[in-house]
């Protein structure tokens, strides 16, 4: 059974159609990267998966259950599907540890001491233990984004959605964030990743989907898709990426 | 070579620090000295000085005006608390989205339009003279009470807008992150948005706090014996206006430290956040 099943997903922003009957299945422990130009619908598709953006037609199912099914309750879906944003969106008035324990304590009713112990352990696991009492603005962009990832992991989700998480970072800080994502893949996390880091997508993804005009135009195993794209639009997109120096030309 | 912290550098820093202070002191003295000289050269000045700045009259009027000022302060503080809470409630009404909260949202919008559109003095007169005249059983009849209510209702409209601007200034990503973590709309406001919004609005709110402190004087039209009223009573009795100057000094003594205090609080808050790391 697929962990995530997306069927005929359609979304309009006013008159403009951003998603056009998208079908996509994601297996447990699979890592899927969504690539494509700006405005191709990647981020919108990602945000439909955890109900952050409402869609007009189609269904999204998590382990066979519609994400709007009452059995999820109000918070069940958010607990099982975590999301990390491009702009980190950490709460600036809370310390790192407070950021991480907010949802476990307030949403999932965990005991404060227990949640803090779990949060500290998680921070240490990702090499951020010494920043538990720091505030977000004292950290580098890369550290903030790592904290944001830890925050979304604190509710122990089954699926993690990553929305251009390295796009706002200085080049020298991207590596530390990508390393965490690789570690998560090793640990078996199911992930859907929107990214402009083509080299990273090629290395980490089990499958890459190229979106254009609100549709998945081409998808497949990353080395195949990047070296022998079949669809002319994929070819054109990748040519532009290679010309911009964002992906070394494939041999 | 060892690097010295540099005696010379510190001397320059001291000079750099002192020079602007000296320049501002000198310019203040020059400007106000010129004004004082100009005013003092007026033919009528001795008479005016006696009527407005007579130390003897000031000392005589001070106890009464000070007593009135205490009344002003009490009205001011109680009103502040009520405005702070009531305006926050209204701002939260406006910030809630979804059909369930539509009536509350509409209420807040109509409220702000209505009370911001009416002069505070008019409200004070309407409430202070009108409601006690209704003679409704179970309601207080003092003009002081209803005048205070009018001030609270009027200022809450402005304060609601200040809160609202603070809420809207918080980046939308904050709300999205909170929602994605599963927080309810209320929890999102309570834990993510409002703490940032309240910090944002401190300077704008302080303007209202100071403005209200002065507008408490409006209640004097209802016969409330506040600082202005007491000063007027003295003036009516002696034909000397120095009591008004006493009231003015008292108002300044209350508002200026307030501004400094807010500056200090904001600075401390910022330092706390910058020093959090070990």
Identify the band that residue A45 occupies on the pLDDT scale cut at 50, 70 and 90.
Answer: very high
Its pTM stands at 0.82
Q: What is the mean pLDDT of residues A91-105?
A: 95
Buried b (16+ CB within 10 A) or exposed e, B139-174: eeeebbbbbbbbbbbbbbbbbbbbbbebbeebeeeb
Average pLDDT score over residue span B261-271:
76
Residue A137 pLDDT > 80, yes or no?
Answer: yes
CB nearest B277 (choices: A90, A102, A133): A133
Task: Examine the pLDDT at B278 and tell me if it is beyond 50.
Answer: no
Of B180, B184, B195, the CB nearest to A83: B180
A134: nearest CB among B183, B196, B277? B277
**Cross-chain CB nearest to B182 (options A87, A93, A103):** A103
CA distance to partner chain B, nearest, from residue A14 (Å): 19
Instruction: State the average pLDDT over residues A101-111.
Output: 94
Under an 8 A CB cutoff, do B177 and A108 touch?
no
Alpha-carbon distance values, B226 to B125, B142, B210, B214 (Å): 16, 14, 16, 11
Q: How confident is the model at residue B13 (pLDDT cuts 50, 70, 90)?
A: confident
Interface test with A, best of B182, B191, B193, B273 (most A CBs within 10 A): B182
> Nearest 5°: phi and psi at B223?
90, 5
Instruction: Tell me the domain boundaries of chain B.
Output: 64-275
Q: HSE on the CB side for B179, CA within 13 Å?
A: 12
Residue of chain A nearest B177, judged by CA positions? A89
Position B1 confidence tier, pLDDT thresholds 50, 70, 90: very low
| Alpha-carbon radius of gyration of chain A | 18
pLDDT above 80: residue A44: yes
As a whole number, mean pLDDT of residues B226-231 equals 90
CB < 8 Å to B196, chain A: 91-93
Most distant CA pair in chain B, distance? 89
Instruction: Please name the residue of chain A whose CA is at the shortest distance from the CA of residue B272.
Output: A135
Nearest CA in chain B to A134: B277
- B277–A108: do the CB atoms touch at under 8 Å? no
Question: Tell me, what's the pLDDT at B277?
Answer: 42
Q: Which of residues 131-170 of B touch A (CB under 8 A)?
A: none
pLDDT at B84 over 60: yes
Q: Which of B176, B187, B276 sits opposite A134 (nearest CB)?
A: B276
Res. B10 pLDDT band, cuts 50 70 90: low
- Residue B43 vs residue A35, higher pLDDT: A35
Provide the shortest C-alpha distance from residue B45 to chain A (in Å).
56
Tokens 């199912």 -> residue: A61
Q: Is the pLDDT of residue A250 over 70?
A: no
What per-residue confidence (pLDDT) applies to B144? 87
pLDDT at A146 > cutoff 50: yes
Mutate to test the interface with A, among B171, B174, B177 (most CBs of A within 10 A): B177
Instruction: Check A95 against B278: CB less than 8 A apart.
Output: no
Residue B273 in contact with partner chain A when CB distance is under 8 A: yes
Q: Report the pLDDT value the prediction gives residue B11, as an integer from 0 to 100.
A: 61
- Is the minimum CB–CB distance between B214 and chain A shorter than 8 Å? no
Q: In this model, does residue B99 exceed pLDDT 90?
A: no
The domains of chain A, with CATH numbers, are 4-243 (3.40.50.300)
- The arithmetic mean of pLDDT across residues A179-184, rounded, is 92
Q: What is the pLDDT, as a whole number, of residue B41?
A: 87
Q: What's the pLDDT tens digit per position in A190-202? A: 999 999 889 889 9
Alpha helices in B170-240 (DSSP H): 172-180, 185-187, 194-215, 227-238
The pLDDT score that the predictor gives to residue B160 is 96
CATH for B64-275 (1.10.287.110, 3.30.1130.10, 1.20.140.160, 1.10.3720.10) = 1.10.3720.10
Q: Residue B105's pLDDT is what?
A: 94
Q: Chain B contact for A90, CB < 8 A?
A: yes
| pLDDT confidence tier of residue B272, bands split at 50, 70 and 90 | low
| Confidence band of B18 (pLDDT split at 50, 70, 90) | confident
Give the percent of chain A with pLDDT over 90. 76
Pairwise CB contact (< 8 Å): B278 & A50: no
3-state secondary structure of B114: helix
| Cα(A191)–Cα(A182) distance, integer angstroms | 11
Count of CB atoms situated within 10 Å of the CB of B22: 9
> pLDDT at position B54, please?
87
Best residue in B170, B181, B196, B198 to probe A by mutation, most A CBs within 10 Å?
A: B181
Mean local confidence (pLDDT), A219-232: 93
- Mean pLDDT, range B192-211, rounded to an integer: 88
**Nearest-CB residue to B181 (from A95, A107, A133):** A107
8 Å CB contact of A107 and B180: no
Chain B residues in contact with A130 (beta carbon < 8 A): 278
B98 touches chain A (CB under 8 A): no
The pLDDT assigned to B275 comes to 64
């Amino acid at each position: 059974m697929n962990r995530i099943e997306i069927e005929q997903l359609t979304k309009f922003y006013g008159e403009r159609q951003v998603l056009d009957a998208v079908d996509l299945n994601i297996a447990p422990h699979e890592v899927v990267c969504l690539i494509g130009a700006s405005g191709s619908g990647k981020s919108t598709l990602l945000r439909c998966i955890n109900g952050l953006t409402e869609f007009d037609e189609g269904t999204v199912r998590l382990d066979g259950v519609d994400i709007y099914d009452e059995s999820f309750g109000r918070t069940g879906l958010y607990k099982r599907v975590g999301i990390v944003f491009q702009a980190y969106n950490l709460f600036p008035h809370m310390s790192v540890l407070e950021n991480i324990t907010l949802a476990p304590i307030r949403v999932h009713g965990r005991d404060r001491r227990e949640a803090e112990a779990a949060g500290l352990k998680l921070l240490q696991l990702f090499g951020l233990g010494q920043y538990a009492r720091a505030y977000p603005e004292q950290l580098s962009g890369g550290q903030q984004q790592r904290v944001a990832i830890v925050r979304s992991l604190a509710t122990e989700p089954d699926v993690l959605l990553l929305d251009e998480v390295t796009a706002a970072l200085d080049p020298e800080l991207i590596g530390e964030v990508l390393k965490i994502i690789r570690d998560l893949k090793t640990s078996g996390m199911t992930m859907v990743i929107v990214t402009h880091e083509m080299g990273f997508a090629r290395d980490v993804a089990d499958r890459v989907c190229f979106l254009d005009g609100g549709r998945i135009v081409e998808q497949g195993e990353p080395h195949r898709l990047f070296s022998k794209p079949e669809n002319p639009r994929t070819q054109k997109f990748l040519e532009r990426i290679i010309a911009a120096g964002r992906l070394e030309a494939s041999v | 070579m060892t690097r010295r912290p540099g005696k010379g550098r510190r001397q320059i820093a001291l000079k750099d620090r002192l020079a602007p202070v000296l320049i501002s002191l000198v310019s203040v003295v020059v400007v106000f000295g010129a004004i004082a000289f100009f005013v003092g050269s007026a033919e009528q000045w001795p008479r005016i000085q006696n009527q407005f700045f007579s130390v003897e009259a000031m000392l005589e009027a001070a106890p009464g005006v000070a007593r009135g000022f205490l009344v002003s302060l009490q009205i001011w503080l109680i009103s502040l608390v009520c405005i702070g809470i009531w305006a926050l409630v209204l701002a939260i009404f406006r910030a809630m989205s979804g059909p369930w909260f539509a009536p509350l949202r509409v209420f807040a919008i109509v409220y702000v339009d209505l009370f911001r559109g009416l002069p505070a003095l008019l409200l004070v007169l309407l409430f202070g003279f009108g409601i006690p005249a209704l003679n409704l059983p179970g309601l207080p009849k003092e003009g002081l009470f209803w005048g205070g209510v009018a001030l609270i209702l009027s200022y809450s409209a402005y304060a609601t807008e200040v809160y609202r601007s603070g809420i809207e200034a918080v980046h939308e990503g904050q709300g999205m992150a909170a929602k994605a973590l599963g927080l309810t709309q209320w929890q999102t406001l309570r834990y993510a948005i409002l703490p940032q919004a309240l910090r944002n609005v401190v300077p704008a709110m302080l303007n209202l706090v100071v403005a209200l402190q002065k507008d408490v004087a409006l209640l004097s039209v209802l016969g409330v014996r506040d600082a202005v009223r007491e000063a007027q009573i003295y003036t009516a009795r002696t034909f000397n206006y120095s009591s008004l100057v006493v009231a003015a000094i008292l108002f300044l003594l209350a508002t200026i430290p307030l501004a400094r205090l807010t500056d200090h609080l904001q600075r401390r808050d910022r330092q706390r956040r910058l020093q959090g790391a070990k």
